[in-house]
Amino acid sequence: MNSRKLFLTLFLAVLTAMPLAAQVGLSIKLNRMTYMIYEPVHAFVAIRNDSGRALVFGTNPRLQGFILFDIRDQHNRRVPKKGNAEISVTDLLINAGETKPLFFRLDRFYDLTKPGIYRVKVYISHPQLPNDFESKESIFWVANGSPIWKKTVGLPKLDDNDKSDIESRTYTIRALFDGQTRYYYLVVEDEEHIYGVMRIGKALGQEKIHAEVDMLSRIHILNPISTNVHHHLSFALDGSNTINQYWKNTETIPTLMRDRSGKVFVAGGAPALQGIDYKTLDPKQKNADQLTREFEEAYQLQNPGKNTVPRKNEGLVDLGKSLEN
């Protein structure tokens, strides 16, 4: 075959492949690039249907499409799915020309508890499509962070006659760089469980975060969010948030105090006023966790397998971050 015929053959092959390649557009985006270990990993998947007909995902074999992920670690080893963690989307309809947003918590389906760099792609397969389609890959990093404060506490006993051994849990405040920003996390754990991984705020220059534990073993945190305003947070031993307040400087600067009875409170300063001293998110704006939960409920994703490290409380407090950030 001469060079002209070879060129024409290759050209026609490219023309033939183009309509198929353009039938479905697929992309994946993560809500951030750096995650604390055990922190939820949210993925935003967009599917653009250019096939010229509606794509219906159902239980009928002719409609049984699949959305799959390929996650690789830093050694290019495929991260396996957890047991019984099938991603099966039923009643999903993508009309011709429509771009459908989908939201997934990848750590529900894949074990991402090992620190390191990961690469992820998403695939779509459907009997109505002549080919499978894949997205470009996204890269993210899972890290342990740097401990800056740590304290082990005992679980309070409500019954004075209880002679059993006192159980203990550990609070750790860790710092993690996400690009050029340093974030603080609170991790609540014992030797067998992770009870909460909470992103509690940004580091502000040389200002220091403060922590104290009260008589009920609840942790209190006071974190400067500006030169004038401080964020007071408290968490219980199950990782649940019990206090979420803001304080501002006056003639005195707010600080955490513990009295003789073990009560922890903010001394100094005054309560800050929302919209005047500090800004919060638009209440209509949803974070990644809310969007993912709504998607899972709407399309009845099958229940994933248990996490490698069980968690009694997801504990996500994602302050000031949405999926698009």
User: % helix / strand / coil in the chain, to the nearest 5?
Assistant: 10, 40, 45
What pLDDT does residue 315 have?
40
In the chain, pLDDT over 90 holds for what percent of residues? 56
| Distance separating alpha carbons of residues 271 and 66, to the nearest angstrom | 52
User: What are 202-229's pLDDT values in tens digits?
Assistant: 999 888 999 999 999 999 999 999 999 9
| Confidence category of residue 320, pLDDT binned at 50, 70, 90 | very low
Q: What are phi and psi of 49, to 5 degrees?
A: -95, 105
More confident residue, 240 or 301: 240
User: What are 1-48's pLDDT values in tens digits?
Assistant: 554 444 333 333 333 333 334 488 999 999 999 999 999 999 999 999
Full DSSP string of 12-56: HHHHHHHHHHTSEEEEEEES-SEEETT---EEEEEEEE-SSS-EE
Domains of the chain: 9-142 (2.60.40.2970), 145-280 (no CATH)
- Tokens representing residue 105 in the block: 């918590």
User: What are 58-106's pLDDT values in tens digits?
Assistant: 888 778 888 889 999 999 999 988 887 777 777 888 999 999 999 999 9
Terminus-to-terminus CA distance in the chain, angstroms? 54
What pLDDT does residue 91 have?
81
